[in-house]
Amino acid sequence: MKAPDLILHRPAALCAAVSFMHLLGLACAFIALEGLALGLVCAGVLLSWGAETLRLWRQSGLRLVGRPDGGLALAGATGAVTVEGGLVPAPWLAVLELRDGQGRRTAILVTPDRVEAEAFRRLRVWLRWHSAFASDRPN
């Protein structure tokens, strides 16, 4: 089964959810802490929020292309990208763990607002097929 072609758009809902959770963490810190501890926790939460938002926005415009052998290729990258374990094909979310030719791992979170509806449906079907196929293969 050929993997679907995907172009990831900006993750508006996902960025909003990440921002909300970080703001909730800041609110809890302001309620429970004071002094130096409050400053350190606030700095850590703000750094975490900035890094996660930057990671999500850098993934926008990313293009995954299905290969005829059932794998994925990352447009613009040299070499093939393999899909590792930990695949989540839920109706509201799909998680891909990719490994490039140099051994670097990247987790890509795909929500329905990041891709077209039909592409998201095909991705979920492909993830289910891929995880079943991978579990049947001998190691």
Domain closes at, from 57, 74, 89: 57
Binned at pLDDT 50, 70 and 90, residue 32 comes out as: very high
What tens digit of pLDDT does each residue of 96-139 get? 887 777 777 878 888 888 888 888 888 888 888 766 655 555 44
- pTM for the model: 0.62
Contact criterion met (CB below 8 Å) for 35 and 12 = no
Based on the domain organization, do 125 and 77 belong to the same domain? yes
Q: How many independent structural domains does the chain possess?
A: 2
72 and 108 in a single domain? The answer is yes
In this structure, are 69 and 45 located in the same domain? no
Do 70 and 130 touch, CB atoms closer than 8 A?
Answer: yes
The 10s digit of each residue's pLDDT in 39-85 is 999 999 999 999 988 887 777 777 777 777 767 777 766 666 777 76
